[in-house]
């Protein structure tokens, strides 16, 4: 299944909320992302059908191994680009927004090269 930026954003949000709260429901995702509950329901159904997450009988969302892997990669990119933008002097709120755009535009290979070059001080 081809995962688009919005799907990656939902997986990242579920990961972040899970780290923060432990258990995550669709309503938590809707509040966090500032989207409607029907939008979350549609995304959850799509991500569930794609094997990225499951929902238990109490309606809690759980990332599958594949979903967690994608979410962790996106979250790592988001954190990296947010930090770099803030370090460069960008307002933190703008940096957060723009990092979300950048994280989807850069391939995993390019991101790893940028990250590794940064670690080496290049």
pLDDT in tens, 17-56: 999 999 999 999 999 999 999 999 999 999 999 999 999 9
- Which residue, 2, 5, 27, is CA-closest to 105? 5
What is 5-64's CATH topology? Arc Repressor Mutant, subunit A (1.10.10)
CATH number of this structure's domain 70-119, picked from the four choices 1.10.3470, 1.10.287, 1.10.60, 2.170.220: 1.10.60
Which residues of the chain are in CATH 1.10.60 domains? 70-119
Burial class (CB in 10 A: 0-12, 13-18, 19+), 76: middle
> How far is 4 from 8, CA to CA, in rounded Å?
6
Q: Does this model's pTM top 0.85?
A: yes
3-state secondary structure of 1: coil
């Amino acid at each position: 299944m081809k995962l688009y930026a919005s799907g990656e954003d939902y997986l990242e949000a579920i990961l972040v909320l899970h780290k923060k709260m432990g258990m995550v429901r669709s309503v938590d995702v809707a509040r966090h992302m500032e989207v409607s509950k029907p939008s979350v329901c549609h995304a959850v159904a799509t991500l569930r059908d794609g094997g990225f997450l499951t929902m238990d009988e109490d309606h809690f969302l759980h990332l599958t191994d594949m979903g967690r892997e994608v979410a962790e990669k996106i979250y790592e990119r988001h954190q990296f680009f947010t930090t770099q933008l803030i370090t460069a002097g960008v307002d933190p709120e703008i940096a957060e927004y723009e990092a979300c755009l950048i994280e989807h535009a850069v391939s995993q290979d390019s991101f790893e090269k940028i990250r590794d070059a940064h670690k080496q001080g290049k």
